[in-house]
Structure 1
Amino acid sequence: MVEQKAQAAFQEAEGMCARQRAELIEARGEVAKRNARIQQLEEAREELELIKSSRSWRLTRPLRVALRLLRHRGLGAEDREKMRQLWRRGAGTQAESLPPPTVVAAPDLSAVGDVNEQVMHVMPQAAGRRDYFIWSVIDWHFRTQRPQHLARELAKAGHRVFYISNNFIDHPAAGFAVESLDDSGCLFQVNLHAKGRPAIYHAAPSENIREQLRAGIGQLLAWTSSRACVSLVQHPYWLETARVLPNAWLAYDCMDHHGGFADNGTDMLVRENELMRTADLLVVTSDWLYEEAGKYNPHRLMIRNACQYEHFAAQPEHVFKDAQGRKVIGYYGAIAEWFDLDLLEKVAKRFTDCLVLMVGADTAGAQKRLQHLDNVVFTGEVAYAKLPFYLAGFDVCLLPFQVIPLTLATNPVKVYEYLSAGKEVVSIALPEIRQFGDLVRTAGDHAGFLAAVAAALNAWPDAARIAQRQHFAEEQTWSHRVQDLLQGIAALPEPRVSVVVVTYNNLDLTQLCLRSLELYSSYENLEVIVVDNASADGSPAWLREWAAAGADRHLILNPDNRGFAAANNQGLALASGDYLVMLNNDTHVTPGWIATLVAHLRHDPSLGMLGPVTNNIGNEARIAIQYDDMDGMLSAAADYTAHHAGQLTSLRTAAFFCVMMPRAVYEKVGPLDEAFGIGFFEDDDYCRRVEQAGWTIACADDVFIHHNLSASFNKLKQEKRQALFEQNKAIYEAKWGAWSAHKYREQKNEQ
């Protein structure tokens, strides 16, 4: 999208005197947007008053108070959990009929100040449909272009869409404001807090801003309750922030050749290269970008621009007409650095009997340059809804761009829209115009361009020709493009993950563990390998049935108890995954855990081993969290991990109740040391070996796994356990020196 830099020019013009008409029009536009938002707030306020006067509002007041206290953290952890229990008991099955939550919306982005509460209808996340977070290049209300069209069509397809605006709220604390964009409960614009309201176009975010944005997204995720996501990134500024979403694919919607913009710094281009290289899917809009993208990423998908066909094909009630009755040679869109002003001047001078109508914001000084020509008129910025009024009055539509690297990579939206109205179109010969064939007149130089305009003006209106243009446009809509995007995301290859579960008795816990893997992994390319160490409680028989009941289930039944290390080695040797997991059978996993762990390891090649946070373990992975049952666990875990999205805590030793490592680590470090027998210290030992091989170890604060802790060891007598501990400690210290006892993390009141 070549027009994105126009907004940067507007932002830089703030505070300057309104000397040019474009700046005046921008100011009027801002006033119009603010008036529209005020009207929305007034309507919302009236709706809220009606709700407040209802009987259900009065009856549910205690529950709303409880939720508001929870949201604003006015209670301690224990009291908050009691309030959650009260909510569950009080709401019961009637929760869906209660009024929707209130969300603070801040229409004034220059400061938070006093804001009004707005009733916000939010649909729950649909089963099997990922939430889309669009990391935008423009604000929703700036100018309707590709980002808004894709967002609308994704919402129509049943996905919740959270459009992250590039306009920040100037505030030192993390947070966000949300605006509902339609009545579906699926489409929202989000304005994040960022101190100083930095512009996204010229420089990467500072470390402080990145952390503020990450924390703000954590708060947003706690509100959206998103469990499976797609990050659709449209500008390199968002690189780190877009990666924090849980269970997410990351797609880079590469709309432009960023190197072609004069104001892009080197660091921004470096960031774009990283995005292109590391994105799960690289979406491009032109053949030039497709070839360029192939240098960075094999997972490419061509999704050209398109049109909202009905918006432009239907004849509007009112049509622009020149007051002097002249034919109209027209253009609409940004008039910016890529515009060929020399060519435009030649058109105006050649066709003096025609009106040359320029509709759009002028940041290239075109109006000043051509002010001596009486037949050239500039309207300034025009709302998307009014474009058909002008387009219907055009006799010939222009695309007078320079042939430069920026435009060589450009797939112009407006050509699809011009053709939707069946219009004659004349364009400079750019690579992306070839797809339109003879539906668009093209020329390689100025003389040829003028000749093409003359031919278009003299062409007799041909109904068949008009229908041909419109038929082409009708097959190139944003709905078509979104279907292509959804299919591209669905077809992405998942890295193979192998989960090894060692069992020794405790069949009830094993059943819960394996059931949770089935329910909450949300991962297709997964194999589960169970190694049983001669259980005597009926586990072998049940495990045989389990293995036979599903694909990618493997079972090893040992005739004797080979111990934790040896049994895991058996499973790891059988595993085929790109990522390997060792998981205790006394655990209960939570939604999206696998994809989130994999994403951390993929984005940080220095990580050799990664574990989750948990309720019960002897090191820094243990967090302060409260729940009474597994339903409560899922709710509390979701809240905690959302608020800690993207965060890692460095560990010296990862406890092996649950760890994931890339296959490359396993192949270099090798199997667990079986000298540790039944258990104790094999995890400490393996972590030393991972460190020795050059990798780091961490805990993912955005993945929670419930752990019952030493369910098998608890059946050993205390004397035997202590003897085993001392024996294995000696083995460890003989290899690595004095053992340092594990520590707990410093707990904060985060619930």
Structure 2
Amino acid sequence: MNLAEQPDSLSAVAIDNPLQPTQRTRPTLLCLSHLRWGFVYQRPQHVMSRLARDYDVIFFEEPVFEDLAEDRAKPRLDHSQPAPGIEVIVPRLAHGLSEEQIAEAQRQLLDEMLLARGDAELLLWYLTPMSLAFTDHLKGNVTIFDCMDELSAFRGAPVRLVDMERELMARADVVFTGGYSLWEVKQRQHDNAHPVPSSVDIAHFAAARDGLADPVDQADIAHPRMGFFGVIDERFDIELVEKLATLRPDWQIVLIGPVVKIDPATLPQLPNIHYLGGKSYDELPAYLAGWDVALMPFAINESTRFISPTKTPEYLAGGCPVVSTPIHDVIRGYGQSGAVTIADTAGAFVAAIDAALGLKGSAEFLQSADAALDGMSWDTTSRFMKEQIECLR
């Protein structure tokens, strides 16, 4: 059973025949996510794809609300399989439901789905505490909280999030954090918390070192080129990017990624700033190959206080020097690497980029980049997480 009504004792068969061979099913790992699988390929996708080698992963997303005809108004689940062992589930609900109705609809849909799967062992993996609204009755053999970010500091965070996180921390058997700064806070709230900074698929991004053909929408952009890929949201320092473009109009700034939670009209529109939109994970190395310097122009505010950007090692794996604002985990992990320069003002950013131009491809820079990446891989990260889970099963 996956739900609260689990049997209190072992069956007689299990007791009387301890050596009888049994057909063991793979555990079900239910990942409760506020992020869409198909939005940006990042930590959840890397980790879940690897854990799917040993567990049946259900990636349960937030609901989609629709104007449904009366004959289709009943809540339902959409299913897809984007990768081996991964089943993505999206609740489809009608517009106009209250918070309580939304939670109850998801609870019923989820319970029906889990009951249909039979008696597979259940592991609960939370990416957001808000999922407790419809899963607080579930009894997983192991409960994991992968606290990638301080979500309460993000724009538009639900008022209840802090209380929900406190409840989840009390329920969790193990807590992983997205970086060391966040771990320093969470380890005071949970005695089995581990810093698990985001890693990198080195082979994937190392293809950029081989001089890939420029994508069509980047090919006509002049050099020198500075580039950024990632989500453009309240963590992105819009003013810094505008100052860079204004101070050095001969530099071309390429920005790749979806614009989220900020008004696109607030983004600077200058001839040397190029917005290329979102790209797939597979496309990123080709864009990175055409940059001279990679940028991490994060604002310094509450939403970036604990971040550990995945793009740092991805840029370095692609052989591109990096200039970043003073994000704590970037300074801690890469500040002394010789491959990443930290700059805290527009003027310092310009000076750092000037110094970085020409480094790309040099033996000295590549040696520094590779030393910074030594031992990093999503395989290693996922293996560590799995080991912590297996110790608790």
- Fold match, TM over 0.5? yes
Among 435, 438, 450, which residue is 2:333 paired with? 435
Which position in structure 2 is the counterpart of 1:621?
A: none
- In the TM superposition, residue 348 of structure 1 has moved relative to its aligned partner by 1.1
Preserved contact between residue 417 and residue 473 of structure 1 (Cα < 8 Å): no
Residue type of the alignment partner of 1:338: R
Among 75, 78, 82, which residue is 1:181 paired with? 82
Among 22, 31, 41, which residue is 1:144 paired with? 41
Alignment of 1:54-453 (within 5 A): 127=24, 130-155=27-52, 157-168=53-64, 173=74, 175-182=76-83, 184=84, 186-196=85-95, 206-315=99-208, 317-320=212-215, 322-323=219-220, 325-363=222-260, 364-365=262-263, 369-371=267-269, 373-433=270-330, 434-436=332-334, 437-438=336-337, 439-453=339-353
Preserved contact between residue 420 and residue 474 of structure 1 (Cα < 8 Å): no
Residue type of the alignment partner of 2:387: Q
- 1:477 and 2:377 correspond: yes
Distance in 2 (alpha carbons) for counterparts of 1:470 and 1:126: 45
Which position in structure 2 is the counterpart of 1:491?
A: 391
Which position in structure 2 is the counterpart of 1:608?
A: none
Deviations 1:347-377 (Å, cap 9, x if unpaired)? 1123222211111123434665422x21111
Distance in 1 (alpha carbons) for counterparts of 2:268 and 2:299: 17
Q: In percent, how many aligned pairs have the same letter?
A: 25
From the superposition, tell whether residues 257 and 460 of structure 1 become closer, same or farther in structure 2 (CA, over 3 Å). closer
Residue type of the alignment partner of 2:214: V
Distance in 1 (alpha carbons) for counterparts of 2:195 and 2:152: 20
Distance in 1 (alpha carbons) for counterparts of 2:315 and 2:153: 25
Residue type of the alignment partner of 1:162: I
From the superposition, tell whether residues 168 and 460 of structure 1 become closer, same or farther in structure 2 (CA, over 3 Å). closer
Distance in 1 (alpha carbons) for counterparts of 2:285 and 2:389: 33
Distance in 1 (alpha carbons) for counterparts of 2:150 and 2:191: 18
Preserved contact between residue 335 and residue 366 of structure 1 (Cα < 8 Å): no
SS of equivalent to 2:63: coil
Preserved contact between residue 175 and residue 219 of structure 1 (Cα < 8 Å): no
From the superposition, tell whether residues 306 and 215 of structure 1 become closer, same or farther in structure 2 (CA, over 3 Å). same
**Which range moves more in the overlay, 468-477 or 430-439?**
468-477
Distance in 2 (alpha carbons) for counterparts of 1:126 and 1:467: 50
Deviations 1:482-516 (Å, cap 9, x if unpaired)? 11111111233xxxxxxxxxxxxxxxxxxxxxxxx
Distance in 1 (alpha carbons) for counterparts of 2:244 and 2:125: 40
More helix by percentage: 1
Which position in structure 2 is the counterpart of 1:542?
A: none
Distance in 1 (alpha carbons) for counterparts of 2:142 and 2:79: 23
From the superposition, tell whether residues 380 and 167 of structure 1 become closer, same or farther in structure 2 (CA, over 3 Å). same
Preserved contact between residue 322 and residue 328 of structure 1 (Cα < 8 Å): no
From the superposition, tell whether residues 175 and 273 of structure 1 become closer, same or farther in structure 2 (CA, over 3 Å). same
Residue type of the alignment partner of 1:356: I
SS of equivalent to 2:142: strand
Residue type of the alignment partner of 1:435: G
From the superposition, tell whether residues 267 and 243 of structure 1 become closer, same or farther in structure 2 (CA, over 3 Å). closer
From the superposition, tell whether residues 392 and 167 of structure 1 become closer, same or farther in structure 2 (CA, over 3 Å). farther
Q: Which has the larger radius of gyration?
A: 1
**Which range moves more in the overlay, 310-319 or 348-357?**
310-319
- In the TM superposition, residue 139 of structure 1 has moved relative to its aligned partner by 1.7
Distance in 1 (alpha carbons) for counterparts of 2:92 and 2:142: 24
- In the TM superposition, residue 128 of structure 1 has moved relative to its aligned partner by 7.9
Preserved contact between residue 169 and residue 189 of structure 2 (Cα < 8 Å): yes
Distance in 2 (alpha carbons) for counterparts of 1:282 and 1:178: 28
Distance in 1 (alpha carbons) for counterparts of 2:329 and 2:300: 12
**Which range moves more in the overlay, 470-479 or 446-455?**
470-479
Distance in 2 (alpha carbons) for counterparts of 1:132 and 1:265: 26
Deviations 1:519-552 (Å, cap 9, x if unpaired)? xxxx7xxxxxxxxxxxxxxxxxxxxxxxxxxxxx
Aligned length in residues: 359
Preserved contact between residue 165 and residue 191 of structure 1 (Cα < 8 Å): yes
Deviations 1:618-671 (Å, cap 9, x if unpaired)? xxxxxxxxxxxxxxxxxxxxxxxxxxxxxxxxxxxxxxxxxxxxxxxxxxxxxx
Preserved contact between residue 151 and residue 187 of structure 1 (Cα < 8 Å): yes
Residue type of the alignment partner of 1:265: P
Distance in 2 (alpha carbons) for counterparts of 1:471 and 1:325: 31
SS of equivalent to 2:324: strand
- In the TM superposition, residue 172 of structure 1 has moved relative to its aligned partner by 5.2
Distance in 2 (alpha carbons) for counterparts of 1:292 and 1:276: 12
Which position in structure 1 is the counterpart of 2:3?
A: none
- In the TM superposition, residue 330 of structure 1 has moved relative to its aligned partner by 0.6
Preserved contact between residue 233 and residue 242 of structure 1 (Cα < 8 Å): no
SS of equivalent to 2:357: helix
* TM-score, scaled relative to structure 1: 0.45
From the superposition, tell whether residues 468 and 267 of structure 1 become closer, same or farther in structure 2 (CA, over 3 Å). same
Distance in 1 (alpha carbons) for counterparts of 2:361 and 2:92: 54
Distance in 2 (alpha carbons) for counterparts of 1:392 and 1:222: 48
Q: Which runs of no fewer than 5 residues in structure 2 stay unpaired?
A: 1-21, 67-71
Alignment RMSD (CA, Å): 2.6
Residue type of the alignment partner of 1:359: I
Deviations 1:224-245 (Å, cap 9, x if unpaired)? 3352121111112201433444
Preserved contact between residue 173 and residue 212 of structure 1 (Cα < 8 Å): no
Q: Which runs of no fewer than 5 residues in structure 1 stay unpaired?
A: 1-124, 199-204, 493-522, 524-751
Distance in 2 (alpha carbons) for counterparts of 1:453 and 1:209: 49
Alignment of 1:315-714 (within 5 A): 315=208, 317-320=212-215, 322-323=219-220, 325-363=222-260, 364-365=262-263, 369-371=267-269, 373-433=270-330, 434-436=332-334, 437-438=336-337, 439-459=339-359, 461-470=361-370, 472-473=372-373, 475-492=375-392
- In the TM superposition, residue 256 of structure 1 has moved relative to its aligned partner by 1.2
- In the TM superposition, residue 273 of structure 1 has moved relative to its aligned partner by 2.2
Distance in 2 (alpha carbons) for counterparts of 1:359 and 1:310: 21
Distance in 2 (alpha carbons) for counterparts of 1:231 and 1:286: 21
Which position in structure 2 is the counterpart of 1:629?
A: none
Residue type of the alignment partner of 2:190: N
* TM-score, scaled relative to structure 2: 0.83
SS of equivalent to 1:491: helix
Deviations 1:158-201 (Å, cap 9, x if unpaired)? 2211111223465654542321223x4x2111123444387xxx
- In the TM superposition, residue 390 of structure 1 has moved relative to its aligned partner by 0.8
